[in-house]
A and B are shown apart, each in its own frame.
Chain A
Amino acid sequence: MNDRPSASELLAAVERFLEETAVPGLDGPARFHARVAANVVRIVARELATEDLHLAREWDGLAALLGDDAEPPAARAGLREAIAARNEELVRRIRAGSADTGPWRTALLEHLARVVADKLDVAQPPRLAQEGTS
């Protein structure tokens, strides 16, 4: 176990530095990139706080859709890999036409809506702040 400050406390310090010192002290593209960096730090902080819950939820949804109640891998990295493999299986079934109609499609859309809502909670796109893309 690492010492305090914790990972999220350290990220909060970096975010504060970027917002309170770097952004006001810079201009032009560097100022814009400092803003983006602060936003990236916030994304990482939210991911740290929610990933266990979100991965467990996605795993359960996939298990129900695929009818496979194997135990989830205990380590986070293994769980991520296993979820990716199950998503590949979803993609195979979608491309084979299994999700074109019927109750499985309805269940699939509900599952994907939950997963996307979780991902959005982490990414939290800033409103009216998209001028950086061209």
Chain B
Amino acid sequence: MTPDEMRERLASFVAGEERLPASAVRAEGLRRLAGGASREIWSVDLAIERAPGRVETLALILRKDPPGRVGDGGDRGTEFRVLRAAARGGVAVPRVYWACDDASVLGSPFFLMERVEGETLPRRLLREERYAAARQALPGELGTQLARIHALDLEQPDLAGLARPPAGRSPARVEVERVALGLRELVVEPHPVLDLAERWLLERAPDPPSAGAPGSPPRVTLVHGDYRVGNVVVGEAGLRAILDWELVHVGDPLEDLGWLCTRAWRFGAPLPAGGVGTREQVVAAYERASGTRVDFEALRFWEAFGSFKLALVFVMQSRVYLDGRVRSVELASLGRRTVEAEDELLRFLRGAA
């Protein structure tokens, strides 16, 4: 499909949704932003003439499955519904507008959401002087926003379709076993550190779910699944919107806090929570907003699990190259980052982290 065809089809889809004549909607400035094998992200501006001479313009992001992809979790329809539920729950997310399940329109399902201006690149957020105030605000904001995500009612129609962890099983154990299985299938060489880490994690997997310290009721909540610096839009005053919801699932809420504090997401900066704060700062804000207590031992488990999962991510990405599926130099290089995850896991295994 040419970009012109794509713009025309998009405009007539929106006109149909808004019950306007096709000529009332124009799509401009369409360009591909990023994305690889699992999704496409486009930027587009819509001009909508709701009445003669009254034109509304919207700066939008189009999120789209790659053509021909069969939903293996994280499909765009789910993401649209989760974003809608998150907005209703007071979470800072881009406003969603229209979703289309009909693959005949653009070749695969897609949805349109508000384009929130701001910075997402960790290198700039963590270094540049103009984000100094944002860096001060972020630890508290990340904790408060996460509490709102975890407070969303899983029974509401937009979230009721999400798979639940198997009844009676610890989501932490389920996650460790899932990653361990992936590693066994995909590693090319033996990695003794990862086998040691698997046993360490299974021994410490919180069971039942660990949102509460002893005494508080166990919780299973919505989990963002990729909650970290790099996936939030930040302005000079602080957090503006939380993005990248495609790994959303139901599980142990501390998984999100542990991932936020995982070493790789500090991008070389010393502070453990995303390079912007201490664990205590984020946890204090989270506890205040959620009314629950965070067990730091459980948080330590989930932080170590973050590096275990990252080892799988690096191995998976380098396998895509090694198997000849995508001959990208970036994918090729990622196999050599597995050692970063091993290094961090060793710190936990030796009791230093």
> Digit string of A86-127 for contact with B (CB within 8 Å is 1, else 0)?
011011001100011000000011001100110110110101
Whether the Cβ atoms of B337 and A109 lie closer than 8 Å is no
Minimal beta-carbon separation of A132 from chain B (angstroms)? 6
Minimal beta-carbon separation of A134 from chain B (angstroms)? 7
Whether the Cβ atoms of A119 and B126 lie closer than 8 Å is no
Say if the beta carbon of A43 comes within 8 Å of chain B.
yes
> Digit string of B106-131 for contact with A (CB within 8 Å is 1, else 0)?
00000000000000011100110000
B residues near A119, Cβ cutoff 8 Å: 339, 342
Q: How far is the CA of A40 from the CA of B332 in the complex (A)?
A: 9
Closest to B268 in A: A127
User: Which of B127, B268, B317, B333 is the one whose CB lies under 8 Å from A36?
Assistant: B333
Q: How far is the CA of A123 from the CA of B339 in the complex (A)?
A: 8
Interface size on B, residues (CB 8 A): 39
Minimal beta-carbon separation of B94 from chain A (angstroms)? 17
Most buried by A among B34, B230, B317, B343: B343
Provided the pairs A39-B333, A40-B332, A119-B339 are in contact, do residues A112 and B121 lie with their beta carbons within 8 angstroms? no
B residues near A100, Cβ cutoff 8 Å: 199
Whether the Cβ atoms of B349 and A125 lie closer than 8 Å is no
> Digit string of B242-279 for contact with A (CB within 8 Å is 1, else 0)?
00100000000000000000001001110000000000
Say if the beta carbon of A2 comes within 8 Å of chain B.
no
B residues near A108, Cβ cutoff 8 Å: 192, 196
Whether the Cβ atoms of B230 and A131 lie closer than 8 Å is yes
Say if the beta carbon of B154 comes within 8 Å of chain A.
no
Interface size on A, residues (CB 8 A): 35
A residues near B333, Cβ cutoff 8 Å: 36, 39-40, 43
Say if the beta carbon of A45 comes within 8 Å of chain B.
no
Whether the Cβ atoms of B340 and A125 lie closer than 8 Å is yes
Say if the beta carbon of B20 comes within 8 Å of chain A.
no
B residues near A116, Cβ cutoff 8 Å: 193, 339, 342-343, 346
Whether the Cβ atoms of B342 and A109 lie closer than 8 Å is no
Whether the Cβ atoms of A109 and B328 lie closer than 8 Å is no
Whether the Cβ atoms of B230 and A94 lie closer than 8 Å is no
Say if the beta carbon of A37 comes within 8 Å of chain B.
yes
> Digit string of B319-330 for contact with A (CB within 8 Å is 1, else 0)?
000000000111
Say if the beta carbon of B5 comes within 8 Å of chain A.
no
Minimal beta-carbon separation of A56 from chain B (angstroms)? 18
User: Which of A33, A87, A112, A127 is the one whose CB lies under 8 Å from B328?
Assistant: A33
Whether the Cβ atoms of A128 and B190 lie closer than 8 Å is no
Binding site for B on A (CB under 8 A): 32-33, 36-37, 39-40, 43, 84, 87-88, 90-91, 94-95, 99-100, 108-109, 112-113, 116-117, 119-120, 122-123, 125, 127-134
15 contacts between A and B (CB under 8 A): A94-B192, A94-B196, A94-B199, A95-B195, A108-B192, A113-B350, A117-B343, A120-B343, A122-B336, A127-B267, A128-B126, A130-B264, A131-B121, A131-B230, A134-B244
Can you name 14 extra interface pairs (CB under 8 A) apart from A109-B346, A123-B339? A36-B329, A39-B333, A40-B329, A84-B190, A91-B195, A109-B196, A112-B192, A119-B339, A125-B340, A127-B268, A128-B127, A128-B267, A128-B268, A134-B36
The 10 closest A-B pairs by CB, nearest first: A127-B268, A87-B190, A119-B339, A90-B192, A123-B336, A128-B268, A94-B195, A91-B190, A88-B190, A128-B123
Binding site for A on B (CB under 8 A): 34-36, 121-123, 126-127, 189-193, 195-196, 199, 230, 244, 264, 267-269, 313, 317, 328-330, 332-334, 336-337, 339-340, 342-343, 346, 349-350
